[in-house]
A and B are shown apart, each in its own frame.
Chain A
Amino acid sequence: AQSVTQLGSHVSVSEGALVLLRCNYSSSVPPYLFWYVQYPNQGLQLLLKYTSAATLVKGINGFEAEFKKSETSFHLTKPSAHMSDAAEYFCAVSDRGSSNTGKLIFGQGTTLQVKP
């Protein structure tokens, strides 16, 4: 079975500060990993994904994430936070079991607050 754990349901940073959102996964097969962002009253938008190519993945809006197999982690970072980054962020792992449906198993989400 696959699962995702996001450490910290709320993270608060100052504008211009480093953003670090933590995600750890559990998977018996090489995982496909995703970060999605959700703005209020909107659907989810893909920030970036890891599918076994480069371990450092760059996404939209200046975000990036590094896949670390030894730590079973896929933390999301951004060097300098903008006010517009305030949103809820979800880490997800794709089902790669025998059915290989691609259904996403999500973490509980982290709400990012950016203070001026």
Chain B
Amino acid sequence: GAGVSQSPSNKVTEKGKDVELRCDPISGHTALYWYRQSLGQGLEFLIYFQGNSAPDKSGLPSDRFSAERTGGSVSTLTIQRTQQEDSAVYLCASARGQGSYEQYFGPGTRLTVT
């Protein structure tokens, strides 16, 4: 079966532009997480979706960041008015449930803001 897929794999954008990053989780996984990996901050949690519950947005660094999950499957992370400090690898993970369930990670999207 397919794993978690993310697109695009690389994205270069100019400062001030908006970007959308996509995550396709493993079929049947109800939990979906976004993380950011950067040199200065390491791996940071951004947002969590579980089924039809309200998402946990506690890790989003600013109101320029938002995410949605349509139909309990595909998720899109949107960054508006990108800044150079947004340059990082954005990782998506899915799991069969919350808590102790293993999270399966996608390969990530490398975002470079010039």
CA distance A104 to B35 in the complex (A): 9
Determine chain B's interface SS by DSSP, over half rule. strand
Q: Is B14 an interface residue (CB 8 A)?
A: no
Q: Is B99 an interface residue (CB 8 A)?
A: yes
Interface size class of B (residues with CB under 8 A): 20 to 34
Q: Is B103 an interface residue (CB 8 A)?
A: yes
In the complex, are the beta carbons of A109 and B45 less than 8 A apart?
no
A101: chain B residues within 8 A (beta carbon): 48, 50, 56, 98
What 1/0 mask marks residues of chain A from 48 to 62 whose CB sits below 8 Å from any chain B CB?
A: 010100000000000
A106: chain B residues within 8 A (beta carbon): 42-44
Interface size class of A (residues with CB under 8 A): 20 to 34
Number of interchain pairs (Cβ within 8 Å)? 62
CA distance A107 to B37 in the complex (A): 12
What 1/0 mask marks residues of chain A from 87 to 112 whose CB sits below 8 Å from any chain B CB?
A: 00010101010011111111111000
CA distance A6 to B97 in the complex (A): 27
A105 to B, closest residue via Cβ:
B45
Q: Which of B56, B93, B100, B108 lies in contact with A99, CB distance below 8 A? A: B56
Q: Is B74 an interface residue (CB 8 A)?
A: no
Chain B 57-114 residues near chain A, CB threshold 8 A: 59, 91, 93, 95, 97-108
The 5 tightest CB contacts between A and B, nearest first, are A43-B105, A102-B98, A106-B43, A51-B100, A44-B105
